[in-house]
Structure 1
């Protein structure tokens, strides 16, 4: 049944790119006109400040290392890794670019240390520290030295090269110990993910994607094209320091539109299930059009769309209501505090108080520091001390995260993000885009008059709307009874965590798991499973050290050793001498500890963990099985909470012969078997025939005379099979009617299965192994 293995959808990736075209981190604001530039130059006693570049789809921050002038006509943003040989190779080409184009080109460095390059992260952090202490020139001296001597890279040599490039050794060590510069590196890594800059070296040339260590001629072709466009803009009166702002928006948006036009058209027609109960509302409850806005008080595009929303309210009056949902983005540090202030205002003065503060916060943007929030609270007539207490104590965090979970469910990535009667509209779009959808929805409402009351109209739309897809499932074997764990020993939700002590992403997720345990202190049990990866040479011994700490001092000893190793992960903190030091620090019997490491006492348990992960398709770290739900990578807390909530409150299995109201899956038993019942985790053998609603047969194991073997619950087959075969008995025969969402979705599986196809299966359960 190869044709029914799961397809990996690229819709999420493309959606995220569309978001960026006009959303936070998205398209630039309208370029200045020649008249505006002339007026600015004529202003007496004023010097026009350079246009900010930190709000663009490919932003440039003040703390980015840069070679070249601020007003260069072509900007090359490079995502690079000091230990990557291809990054080293392309440097010669970039030197030729600088020599050829002079002041017309600037190069901006962004860090992207890849996880399988052992020294890349510390190389990036040290380089960032040097730049922070001594400026761009020192950074580039270090940059050149590292790439010249890349083969000799080690934590010690990197420190030495930084000192040779101008760093103060003591100041450097203090910064490394306090992790002063890691946030900048992590910000660059997150940006790379956001814009799809995967692998190194990766470039954005005025926003155009350009990947790999390509020859000079390929760079030249792109640069020449961009240079011609830039010169035309300057001739039209655009200031040189605004050229990047104009071109990066244009190029990125064009790239997205070319790749994603069909997906966007399909998504605009989809009605998503977006709850509104409990959220701040502007407008009447019986308005025929509901606009749900996922927004962020620090996002410049959320502010930019404000006048458009005001115009909608003026134009449509009581026909439209606007509902607010919080979506503070991780790279906007003041968005969450601002959201707390707005919620405190609502608690004190209702929806009117919320919208008053909402308007004041956007008026204050970008000034959203504590003093600014206090000023907003005071001007709104609120108890300032109480409001700032809510900010400090994160009083409304749970409600804010609930909004974020809703957004995550319906793929509302980026802000602002709108759902108009459930139909998606992304970014700070012009009024015309909103009006098109609103007018269509008003016509639909008019067609329904007399059939449904106005106050019930939105709820009636949501009954058949598209809900959140269920997270991927994996059924893991139970962990050993004596495995290290944190949380409640008898927690209802078992979380198995496959991790690697040398993996930087495993280190990053530790704080998230701590927060998860705090959020569910009696409900979750998080069990550690070892999976040292081949590219991490120190991980196996580190795993053995943690196991011996557990053997000697139980969960408390394991937790202390785990923390020490993750805290010092990047500083040769997983070598044997460091491990022995940790053993002594936490009070272990060091002689016994060394004997366990020398004799590899715990290797068999670690190997068993690794195999248990591999058996269910866990290939990287960190990976989690939360109840039956699979989470891959260092995901945000909201992802884990959603999986825990689903595990605590599992959706009911569809009953035979009944349509599941939520998914649309229909299960009909033709013959009820007499053998064992299928449950999650079973390996089963079936015969099947698959047809389309028009009777077209697209696959049959019977015609091949070859039954199909697979395991239930590990993602080997489409979701309609995963759900529809549970409870079937050996010898039984069952018919499944599978909606597109549980089959192959909007794309289908060409050429066999068309887009948005409902699938019909006649399945016989031959055996359960």
Structure 2
């Protein structure tokens, strides 16, 4: 979620971490006055722990088959980050051809120029790939701490970038979401400070001397060489290491009776491969969904995926291994779920659908995953030619976005069944999230095939068996507990959120529960909450209404114009039709797109254009923004359920818990 409070939270987290070290005794706690210190010793992080820090879709430097990957988490204004640069160069020279470097942004909030510099580096990558990123990376550290706009623009010109685009990217905050994702990742594995490094997943904090880095690199080289000798291709060593890596901090075992730190991973133990906990959701299929395998298979795996998602690329070989392991028993069914942060995902999905129209979906599917870094229009047209498609028909289908509605139908289905991330799979409607290793996938497949055999009782399955198996699984499954992350938060203060008589409303105007939604048409998380609210209205019917409030964020250039277009549509009684079309076209919002959508939904074009051009809706939109500020809706989406605040694109279960709490008060 885009939310300005992430900066505040990071400052608070840093302050707490810093001052706790100065204000406590040497063992991690302040003893009460006049009493002996009896608190347990401060937990110690395991120095040999391996953390899950993927390098997919990050800037990379060095050979792809390097045995050691070093991920740098850094801040361009941080003096210690600058100081460690020469050490990394020495390290690279000491191990020629053996090291690969990756970069994760972590601009600290008290460095005012760190975020603009990070945006400039990301824009450099957008203009010239990884080579330009690293050129800008080096220039920025060379300039630091002089990272004012003029200096950054000069640096851009010196390395051959379009400086105007760099300036525009900084002004618009173009890559903030991507940078925030980097920060969330490194914080989740206990690396909030800069610089931090991960050497094949091993954490190194701070600007350490060369000897420290060399010691860990030497150890990791030996491990990597052992993997290669055991049959792992050199280019897959890092991915292999990441399979068993921890997604959160790992601490050494505590003394008997002492609890592990909250949120910490347990100390490493022998790896196991249990099947993930079972959660079942009914996933309906279309007759023409892309499918591979027999229609009467005992086990159907429905895959929600994204052609640009690196983890989706990683799961593909695993699925092929499953098909080989269960010949004739397994069917794979594809569902589209192009994520909003992947710019080429929707165009790639449209290309796959255009290929499906000509009977070659899977050939295009394979080409797109084989060339995940080449999903631009020209490359995809080349893929179409390579698999023998009729080029004219293909281009017409892609350019007209003929199958966009079909893809969006898959996306809505995915959101409704909990497939918000990719890849998400359903084995006879049993959910498996992420690119799990083969042994875990096989564990699930074995369990579901065993249940299928019990259901068949020796009979042969038919084309309707998938529905039977799903229904049986859902009927037999116990009610799934709501995970902690999806539980409703403790009730907070109830805010009075004024609603105008003419505010856009969906649902029963007299519903006992009102959800006031502050949203932004360009915000990807706002698009993600839409299917959740649709599920709310399907579930609760006349008991819930949704009221729209505008909150166009300043770093979304098209958010305010889109809000004005929606208001112009509201004047003609078609706010929600415009609302739906704007979110469906979120990647291409522009004045031309607004005019096109106005025609599509049957607006009086002359009245629409006059309304937009007059700017008369801005005062109303600003009223919504002022209201948002007064009730604490700083980011989008923010909802108020009968005045109780819910922040972000939360899952249906969490929103349901808040609604149920409000209904119980009636």
Among 528, 536, 548, the alignment partner of 1:526 is: 548
**Would the aligned equivalents of 1:297 and 1:303 in 2 still touch at CA under 8 Å?**
yes
- Of residues 272, 291, 303, the one that matches 2:280 is 272
Q: Distance in 2 between matches of 1:440 and 1:612?
A: 50
Inter-CA distance 443–298: structure 2 relative to 1 (3 Å threshold) = same
1:424-479 CA distances to partner (integer Å, 9 max, x unpaired)? 44555665544433333232233334599953233222345568978959875342
Secondary structure of 2:496's aligned partner: coil
Matches for 1:171-182 after TM superposition, within 5 Å: 172-173=163-164, 175-177=166-168
- Residue 146 of structure 1 is aligned with which of 128, 144, 147? 144
Is residue 460 of structure 1 aligned with residue 472 of structure 2? Answer: yes
1:167-209 CA distances to partner (integer Å, 9 max, x unpaired)? 4999634641376996667544434445647744263422426
1:203 to 196, 200, 205: 196
Aligned to 2:447: 440
Does the residue aligned with 1:625 lie in a helix, a strand or coil?
A: strand
Is residue 203 of structure 2 the alignment partner of residue 216 of structure 1? no
**Equivalent position to 1:622, from 628, 636, 645:** 636
SS of residue paired to 1:419? strand
C-alpha distance in 2 between matches for 1:381 and 1:314: 27
1:256/1:94 CA distance change after superposition, 3 Å: same
Structure 1 position 273, deviation (Å): 0.7
Partner of 1:58: 55
* Contact 1:203-1:209 at 8 Å conserved across structures: no
Residue from 485, 488, 498 that aligns with 1:479: 498
Residue aligning to 1:418? 425
SS in 2 for 1:325: strand
Seen in structure 2, the aligned counterparts of structure 1 residues 476 and 388 have a Cα distance that, compared at 3 Å, is farther
SS at 1:225 equivalent = helix
Cα RMSD for the two superposed structures: 5.9
- Looking at structure 2, the residues matched to 162 and 526 of structure 1 have their Cα atoms a distance apart, in angstroms, of 40
After superposition, the Cα gap between the structure-2 partners of 1:428 and 1:221, relative to the gap in structure 1 and judged at 3 Å, is same
Cα-to-partner distance string for 1:285-317 (whole Å, 9 max, x where unaligned): 543322122233345665565565455445544
Distance 1:215 1:311 in 2: 43
Give the equivalent residue in structure 1 for 2:217: 226
Residue 400 of structure 2: which of 393, 397, 400 is its match?
393
1:276-315 superposed matches below 5 A: 276-278=284-286, 279-299=289-309, 302=312, 306=316, 309-310=319-320, 312-313=322-323
- Is the 8 Å Cα contact of residues 228 and 234 (structure 2) preserved in structure 1? no
| 1:268 partner SS | coil
Cα distance in 2 for partners of 1:379, 1:71 equals 28
SS in 2 for 1:343: helix
* CA shift for structure 1 position 234: 5.6
Q: Determine which of 241, 248, 255 is the counterpart of 2:246.
A: 255
1:246 is aligned to 2:265: no
CA gap of 1:381–1:183, structure 2 versus 1, over 3 A, is same
1:340–1:394: 8 Å Cα contact kept in structure 2? Answer: yes
1:558-707 matches, within 5 Å, as 609-613=628-632, 620-625=634-639, 632-633=647-648
- Give the secondary structure class of the aligned counterpart of 1:201: coil
Separation in 1, partners of 2:56, 2:196:
13
- Asked whether the equivalents of residues 81 and 201 of structure 1 are also in contact (C-alpha less than 8 Å), the reply is yes
Higher relative contact order (CA 8 A, sep 6+): 2
Between 135-144 and 267-276, the greater mean CA deviation after superposition: 135-144
Q: Is the 8 A contact 1:496 1:528 kept in 2?
A: no
CA contact (8 A) 1:291 1:322 kept: yes
Separation in 2, partners of 1:118, 1:588: 34
Alignment partner, residue 326 of structure 1: 336
